[in-house]
A and B are shown apart, each in its own frame.
Chain A
Amino acid sequence: MLVYIFLYMRYSRIYTFFIIICCVLIITSCKNETDRAKETNENDVIEVYNFNQLKPLLNKSNDDKIHVVNFWATWCAPCVKELPYFEELQANNKDVEVVLVSLDFPDKFESQLIPFVKEKNLGSQVILLDDPNENEWIAEIDDAWQGALPATLIYTDTKRTFYAQSFTREDLLKEIEKFTKI
């Protein structure tokens, strides 16, 4: 019985996501072109986005990729610990696209985030999310997220899971495995 309920809740949530994704896609379809231009920037450029600019990166479709969006900050110890696992994913797996969304303090962009990204030589795309309306966008990223870091969103065209937790290398690979098409 419990399993049944669990599945029901799970799929009803996925269904809700699907509707949200469709809405977002329709709303942002006109905007996509400019945002895509930004995405192709060099990796060493850290873009500063508000939530509306970030949204397309949370809802890419029709590209057969596994999208991994990690929410982190240089000041968050468990985030920094798991960063290498995301970097390895990006480097070793052609089918995976990693985006590292930093929630560093916007006034520490120059003094903390940029030097950190340079020092670690991060290969994944890094974005600073600077949007003051956190109560709204945290919920929009995932209803189960209260805003604690780290957190990660993994999605493909057909599957979407949010993780309000940190990962070990093993656990992350195990989760990615679930998104790999047979």
Chain B
Amino acid sequence: MKKLKILIITLTVIAVSAFTSENDLMIMKDGYKVGDIATDFSLKNIDGEMVSLADFKEAKGFIVVFTCNTCPVSVRNEERILALDKKYKALGYPVIAINPNNPAVQPGDSYALMKVRAKEKKFTFPYLFDDGQKIFPQYGATATPHTYILKKEKEGLRVKYIGGIDDSSRNAANVKSKYVEDAVDALLANKEIKVTSTRAIGCSIKV
């Protein structure tokens, strides 16, 4: 009986400690989870201006996309990112693109070349440079492209979705589920988001 007691106590301790430590590790390693409050930032846009999410007084939320000039998966998703901004900016969910890469490692992702890329592709959204790579680790972005949907709430910017733009990053013609569109549509309709986190092929962030 005593043994059983010890066993139960041990198991409880393991379960509790494993659970809490996992949470701690997640925050350290993986950044935000759905439901967390995201911090705002102040990052330099391609026009030289500093941009914060607080600047967008009218916005209901944001589609934050970590993307870059060089990653072929990002390039292949540029049209989709433009389409998201076109559709959802007017509805209160503008796209905010952030380049998380270190140009010392990936010279094609320099601030100067961000300007070139944005001009070439006629970006309609801010394209911000995560200078010093402070912001992407807070979010926990692991790849380009990597999308976070944030909703303005009383407590701050609530993370509502993390993951891919859709279920077919490599081939737009094969898309069956448009995760980001579905999520923003649900937010706009005050409905629950069915799929709140997904995975997608991408380029590792260059640190």
CA gap between A75 and B176 in the complex, in Å: 25
Q: Are B18 and A8 in contact, with the CB atoms below 8 A?
A: yes
- Of residues 1 through 39 on chain A, the ones whose CB sits less than 8 Å from some CB of chain B are 1-2, 4-5, 8-9, 12
Interface string of A114-153 (1 = CB under 8 A from B): 0000000000000000001111001100000111111000
Q: Are A76 and B171 in contact, with the CB atoms below 8 A?
A: no
Residues of A within 8 A of B42 (CB): none
- Of residues 65 through 80 on chain A, the ones whose CB sits less than 8 Å from some CB of chain B are 73, 75-78
Other than A8-B18, A9-B18, A134-B170, give 13 A-B pairs with Cβ distance below 8 A.
Answer: A75-B72, A76-B203, A105-B171, A132-B176, A134-B167, A134-B199, A135-B163, A138-B200, A138-B201, A146-B146, A146-B200, A147-B143, A148-B204
Q: A5-B18, A9-B22, A134-B169 known; A149 and B163 CB under 8 Å?
A: no
A1 to chain B, nearest CB (A): 7
Q: Are B72 and A105 in contact, with the CB atoms below 8 A?
A: yes
Interface string of B166-178 (1 = CB under 8 A from A): 0111110011110
Q: Are B174 and A132 in contact, with the CB atoms below 8 A?
A: yes
Residues of A within 8 A of B146 (CB): 146
Residues of A within 8 A of B21 (CB): 2, 5, 9
Q: Are B168 and A148 in contact, with the CB atoms below 8 A?
A: no
Q: Which residues of B contact A (CB under 8 A)?
A: 14, 17-18, 21-22, 72, 76, 106, 142-143, 146, 163-164, 167-171, 174-177, 179, 198-205
Q: Are A132 and B168 in contact, with the CB atoms below 8 A?
A: yes
Q: A8-B14, A146-B143 known; A134 and B171 CB under 8 Å?
A: no
**A106 in the interface (beta carbon within 8 A):** yes
Residues of B within 8 A of A146 (CB): 142-143, 146, 199-200, 202
Which among A9, A134, A150 has the highest number of chain B CB atoms within 10 Å?
Answer: A134
Q: Are A105 and B142 in contact, with the CB atoms below 8 A?
A: no
CA gap between A146 and B26 in the complex, in Å: 14
Query: Which residue of the partner chain, among A1, A77, A132, contacts B17 with CB atoms under 8 Å?
Result: A1
**A57 in the interface (beta carbon within 8 A):** no
B145 to chain A, nearest CB (A): 10
Residues of B within 8 A of A176 (CB): none
Instruction: Please give me the residue from chain B that is nearest to A5 by CB atom.
Output: B21
Residues of A within 8 A of B176 (CB): 132
Q: Are B200 and A135 in contact, with the CB atoms below 8 A?
A: yes
CA gap between A75 and B144 in the complex, in Å: 13
Residues of B within 8 A of A103 (CB): 170, 201
Q: Are A134 and B168 in contact, with the CB atoms below 8 A?
A: yes
Instruction: Please give me the residue from chain A that is nearest to B17 by CB atom.
Output: A5
Instruction: Please give me the residue from chain B that is nearest to A71 by CB atom.
Output: B201
A19 to chain B, nearest CB (A): 18
CA gap between A147 and B201 in the complex, in Å: 4
**A166 in the interface (beta carbon within 8 A):** yes
Could you list 29 examples of A-B contacts with CB < 8 Å?
Answer: A1-B17, A5-B17, A5-B21, A9-B18, A9-B21, A12-B18, A76-B203, A77-B106, A103-B201, A105-B76, A132-B176, A133-B167, A134-B164, A135-B167, A135-B198, A135-B200, A139-B199, A146-B142, A146-B146, A146-B200, A147-B164, A147-B169, A147-B199, A147-B200, A147-B201, A148-B142, A148-B143, A148-B202, A164-B142
